[in-house]
Amino acid sequence: MPPGGRSRGTTPAPGRRAGLRSAGARPRSAARAAGVTNPPRAQQAKKKLSQLERREQYLYKYFVGKGLKPYQAAALAGNLEYESGGKLNPRQKQIGGGPGRGIAQWSVDGRWQGVLALAKKMKLSPYTLKVQAAFVWQELKGPYAPALRALRKAKNVTAASDIVEMKYEVAGVPALAERRRAAKKILGKFGP
């Protein structure tokens, strides 16, 4: 018998019309029950995301899934976006030929070695967002735990973004305004 419980050519049970639910059945969605065929969230979900937006969304959801508040996750993702040249490209090499690699621009002779080790353990390429997000979290749970504690205490996206830069990224040129802008953009797109 095919899904739906009826074989072809049979008629519905007495008192029922084909394709209708029983009298006590709940509508498929509140929007449909209210007569709204395309609620705003549904339209937004149907919009095709760019590669950068997919990467932003991945990191945002990853860090929210680890227990960060939405604005804290956006702050972390925004800092990584700025740090990687605005593309969140896991293959990003430091502009100008320096030692930075990946979304956090880890030094090739330093922290990047940790990315390589984690990638080997995960049996994935180190040039994947999955590995690099996991390594960020590994660092925040390990040697950068003070940064994570401070981030969890942040009360808004601006404070959270500054904490990520000052306690985790620690860039030579902080560029706080640009990092805040990226964090606010991500929160605006994917936040509650």
pTM greater than 0.85:
no
- Domain edges within the chain: 51-190
Residue with tokens 């606010």: 184
Terminal Cα-to-Cα distance of the chain (whole angstroms): 43
Choose the CATH number for 51-190 among 1.10.240.10, 3.40.309.10, 1.10.530.10, 1.10.8.50. Answer: 1.10.530.10
SS3 28: coil
Residue corresponding to tokens 């990226």: 182
Task: Give me the tens of pLDDT residue by residue for the chain, a chain 192 residues long.
Answer: 444 444 444 444 555 444 444 444 444 544 444 444 444 454 455 689 999 999 999 999 999 999 999 999 999 999 999 999 999 999 999 988 899 999 999 999 999 999 999 999 999 999 999 999 999 999 999 999 999 999 999 999 999 999 999 999 999 899 999 999 999 999 999 999
Strand partners, 101: 93, 106
Sign of the Cα pseudo-torsion (64, 68, 71, 76, in order)? negative
